[in-house]
Amino acid sequence: MRLGYLTHVTGDDPARAYRETVELAVRAEELGYDSFWVAQHHDGHLGGRLPSPLVLLAAVAERTRLIRLGTAVVALPLEDPRRLAEDATVLDALSGGRLELGIGAGADATASQRFGRRYDDRHTDTVATLDVLLELLPTALAEQRTWWATASAVDAAAARGLGLLSGMPPSADARVVPDLARYWTYARGVPRVALSRPLPAGHSIGRIIDDLLADPALPWAGEVVVQAQPSTAPADVHREVLERTAHYVRPFLGVAGPAHPAPALQPAEPDDDLPPLLRPRPVLRGPR
């Protein structure tokens, strides 16, 4: 099970938010995270300050060596597929083949209007743009490192050999686990599933671990991508979540630690309900 971190790059000062995001990615690599993902938001939608994720990830690539760099996600209906393919190819080359290109239909009706697109057509437009994009991307990126964040086109993702980014908790939609099972059955090539899971503020480490291990979608995934909640949390909260997840949550997910472990954190407060790390716990594995 791999471990990733997602940020929506928020804050009142975009320049500061970008610098803090680069530093967060550097720290994630030091802590042994496998991937670092950034969300795209146009015009400050939902507080996000990053309309151009590939540009910021190029800056991250220059400060890191191993961690994979993901977009979660680029709103594909608002993109020109050739320009996106060119920019993605340049970033992939700069980073030594570390780009994980996550795409989706987008959920910002105002952005669709400003880009001269029909919001109601976004799913159809995503499929049409995606098929052009896949023809233009380098083969390895298109076939092994492109992901589709979708709750409605699982079969289409499977048929194209794309990875699946799932952010829908099974408790909210009974279709999630059956959809993942169907994706595994029909995926062209090796199935790839990454679960995006928020870590709500105020939840103890013990509760977070229990919730993750009880997640019925977890056995179908090869990666868990965590994010601080609320998504507009300041940089110090992101850093705390990053550290606590690496030190206390990762061992229960069976994620390999970093080659050079970071200095230990201070012990959790007694009321944090932190389970003893030596307590036996099952390590869930996918259905492979």
Residue 256, judged by CB atoms within 10 A of its CB (0-12, 13-18, 19+), counts as exposed
* Beta-bridge partners for 5: 36, 226
Fold of 2-272: TIM Barrel (3.20.20)
Give me the sign of the Cα torsion angle 47, 102, 24, 1.
positive
Flag whether the pTM goes above 0.85: yes
Separation of alpha carbons 199 and 5, rounded Å: 11
Q: Cα separations (Å) of 27 from 23, 31, 35, 217, 259?
A: 6, 6, 12, 28, 14
Q: Which residue has the tokens 């979708």?
A: 150
Task: Copy the structure tokens of residue 172.
Answer: 């909210």
Q: Residue 145 is inside which H or E element, if any?
A: none
What pLDDT sits at residue 151? 74
Contact 53, 69 (CB under 8 A): no
What pLDDT sits at residue 45? 75
Mean pLDDT by 10 residues, the chain (288 residues): 97 96 98 98 85 98 98 97 98 98 94 93 96 98 96 90 90 80 95 94 91 93 96 94 95 63 37 33 36
* Domain edges within the chain: 2-272
Contact 255, 3 (CB under 8 A): yes
What pLDDT sits at residue 258? 46
What pLDDT sits at residue 9? 97
Asked if the bond preceding 226 is cis, omega within 30° of 0, the reply is no
DSSP for 188-211, please give it.
Answer: SSS--EEEEEEEETT--HHHHHHH
Q: Which amino acid is at 114?
A: R
